[in-house]
Amino acid sequence: MRLSRAHITTLREVPGEAEIPSHIWLLRAGMIRKTVSGVYGFMTLGLRVVRKIERIVREEMDAAGAQEIITSPVQPAELWHESGRWQVYGPELWRLKDRHGREFCLGPTAEEVFTDIVRSEITSYRQLPLNLYQIQTKYRDEARPRYGLMRSREFVMKDAYSFDRDEAGLDVSYAHMREAYTKIFTRCGLTFRPVAADSGAIGGNASEEFTALCEYGESDVAYCDVCDMAATTERAETPDAAPSGEEMQPLREVATPGAKTIDEVAAFLDIPKEKTLKALLFEIYEDKEDYPVSEYIAVFIRGDRELNEVKLRNALGGVAEHLIAFADEEKLGARTGAVGGFTGPVGLRDCRIIIDSEVPGLKNLCAGANKRDAHMLNVNYGRDYEADITADLKLVRAGDPCPVCGAPLKIARGIEVGQVFKLGTKYSESMGAVYKDENQEDRLIVMGCYGIGVTRTMAAVVEQNHDDKGPIWPVSVAPYHVIITLVKPDDPVQAALAEKLYAELESRGVETMLDDRDERPGVKFNDADIFGIPLRLTVGKKAGEGVVEYKLRRGGEVVEMSAEEAVCAATKLVEEER
């Protein structure tokens, strides 16, 4: 590609909307352009990166035995009603109607569509196992799109679905996909690790995220350096503190004027936060359009802990995120006796009490007295109150013991670039996807689901590979492999050597940009950096001697070599790292 003819517009200033490196550099390099909040178009160089990632995904998926199809992102509501997800998915589901009033959605995922295809075309065990995938634009109506491609409302995703006779077959399919994902993200140049994850709205009984580790990741990962334990903080189990050996003391009420928060109560009473009980009050809504409050719940955890809301929703039987919210304290108080800032478990009525699994082993805690400016001391589970549900509700934190080996856990930031799920019969049961076994008996198809965020992967590569001049693309996903910077386009000697290099590299399959613009050398060097092209060859004052400058984008020094040597070195680099 000749830059003198290319439609590429770079930005010299950091866009005000950009917060993280990938968003900044993809905008500044002219690789993406915002249409509206959370929706981006891909320009010349950006689209080439997307296509490179898609090619890697296709090659590894095909090698793993999956078959590519394509379905429409416009999905009929009837399929989502069959699976039970039309309401469960919540406001992120982009819903629309046609002129006849029939309901549809723009697909955020495609479990229903693929299950519908298979249930109508698979009849015999002889047709299984099967793995189908697509690379397609998806839609999620994010409430707060941010971080560019990392949390957008429109994105490119590869989603695959395996169909097996039984759980043993699913285990094999899952292992094949897990291995394929490892190859895909390795080829994309990412540093990553698979971690145990919550299945969320997709469902199923097991899931892992492939997380690219980086400073500005959107999720937290808990991991252990001693054993192989790794999980998202949403999913990580948090061992309980050892049970207290104290004797129960008499329950008594104390005045705590104006002390509402855990910090305030602990300071006022001169007790450690570990001896307090934190209350969090929620309301759960009916699964209806107007969402009336169905019930109130009061959650209690140790005062120095933070609540893991994903664990809470799972403990409540998988309540959808949009159907649970912090309660209106005034309305809740009138019904339950709770008092905002002074709520405790003793004497609460007409609400479910949910406690963290650590709480029953704690003794003589301080909790709200359900009276303004008052708390109770020496509150003990079993004697003073009971719970409707007891479960691990704690958000894991750095230093907590590993649930596997007990060593201190560490926390790292990361970007979810892929996720694999064991769906089991969740969709085949609700949608009637069956096959006939060897005895002509109907059996439910056992499913797996496997997603890769193609455009998120693009952002993750930049997050892990950039400096203060721009992105540094790995050869495998770079928009071009080499950029030839022609210092003086009007110099016939320099121009001739640049053209010779360009033709030779292209003939060897090395994707090459030729910067033949009538621009200052400094502008050309800056643009080469901001494009992130792995290798720059500069044709300048020594062109008459057949000598060029050879410089790797990733921290390489400028080395002078003959044009022939430069072509051979560039070709070798691309062949080794493509």
Q: What is the pLDDT of residues 161-180, one digit of tens each?
A: 999 999 999 999 999 999 99
Percent of the residues in the chain that have a pLDDT greater than 70, as a whole number: 98
pLDDT of the residue at 503: 97
Q: What 3 state SS string does 502-543 have? A: HHHHHHCCCCEEEECCCCCHHHHHHHHHHHCCCEEEEECCCH
Answer whether residue 291 shows pLDDT above 70: no
Q: Which two tokens stand for residue 321?
A: 């995120």
Q: What is the pLDDT of residues 186-245, one digit of tens each?
A: 999 999 999 988 876 666 678 899 999 998 888 899 999 999 899 999 889 999 999 999
Q: What is the pLDDT of residues 472-493, one digit of tens each?
A: 999 999 999 999 999 999 999 9
What values do phi and psi take at 139, rounded to 5? Answer: -135, 130
CA 152 to chain centre: 11
Task: For residues 161 and 451, give the distance between their C-alpha atoms in angstroms, rounded to a whole number.
Answer: 9
Pairing mode, strands 352-356 and 293-302: parallel
Return the half-sphere exposure (C-beta side, CA atoms, 13 A cut-off) of residue 127. Answer: 13
Buried b (16+ CB within 10 A) or exposed e, 127-147: ebbbbbbbbbebbbbbeebeb
Q: What 3 state SS string does 430-476 have? A: HHCCEEECCCCCEEECEEEEEEEEHHHHHHHHHHHCEECCEECCCCC
Task: For residues 256 and 341, give the distance between their C-alpha atoms in angstroms, rounded to a whole number.
Answer: 11
Task: For residues 379 and 428, give the distance between their C-alpha atoms in angstroms, rounded to a whole number.
Answer: 48
pLDDT of the residue at 201: 64
* pTM of this structure: 0.91
The angle formed by the CA atoms of residues 350, 353 and 355, to the nearest 5 degrees, is 175
Answer whether residue 446 shows pLDDT above 90: yes
Do 3-236+411-463 and 252-391 have matching folds? Answer: no
Confidence of residue 15 (pLDDT cuts 50, 70, 90): confident
Return the half-sphere exposure (C-beta side, CA atoms, 13 A cut-off) of residue 97. Answer: 4
Return the half-sphere exposure (C-beta side, CA atoms, 13 A cut-off) of residue 414. Answer: 26
Among the listed residues 469, 86, 105, 74, the one whose alpha carbon sits nearest the alpha carbon of residue 288: 86
State the helix-helix crossing angle for 454-464 and 21-28, rounded to 10 degrees.
100
Q: What is the pLDDT of residues 489-541, one digit of tens each?
A: 999 999 999 999 999 999 999 999 999 999 999 999 999 999 999 999 999 99
pLDDT of the residue at 287: 64
Cβ atoms 376, 368 nearer than 8 A: yes
Pairing mode, strands 410-424 and 206-213: antiparallel
Confidence of residue 290 (pLDDT cuts 50, 70, 90): low
The residue that leads in pLDDT, 19 or 447, is 447
pLDDT of the residue at 252: 96
3-236+411-463: CATH number: 3.30.930.10
304 CB contacts (<8 Å, ≥6 apart)? 262, 272, 273, 274, 276
pLDDT of the residue at 318: 86
Q: For the residues 47-56, what does the mean pLDDT come to?
A: 98
Among the listed residues 455, 420, 466, the one whose alpha carbon sits nearest the alpha carbon of residue 209: 420
Cβ atoms 553, 471 nearer than 8 A: no
Pairing mode, strands 277-285 and 324-326: antiparallel
Element housing 167 (H / E): helix 167-187
Architecture of domain 252-391: Alpha-Beta Complex (3.90)
Cβ of 61: how many Cβ atoms within 10 Å? 24
Domain positions in the chain:
3-236+411-463, 252-391, 480-577
Q: What is the pLDDT of residues 296-350, one digit of tens each?
A: 999 999 999 999 999 999 999 888 888 899 998 888 888 899 998 999 999 999 9
pLDDT of the residue at 292: 64
Among the listed residues 505, 471, 563, 521, the one whose alpha carbon sits nearest the alpha carbon of residue 513: 505
Chain-wide mean pLDDT for the chain?
Answer: 94
Among the listed residues 364, 366, 365, the one whose alpha carbon sits nearest the alpha carbon of residue 375: 366
Confidence of residue 116 (pLDDT cuts 50, 70, 90): very high
The residue that leads in pLDDT, 394 or 217, is 394
Q: By three-state DSSP, how is residue 163 classified?
A: strand
Third-level CATH fold of 480-577 = Rossmann fold (3.40.50)
pLDDT of the residue at 320: 86
pLDDT of the residue at 573: 96
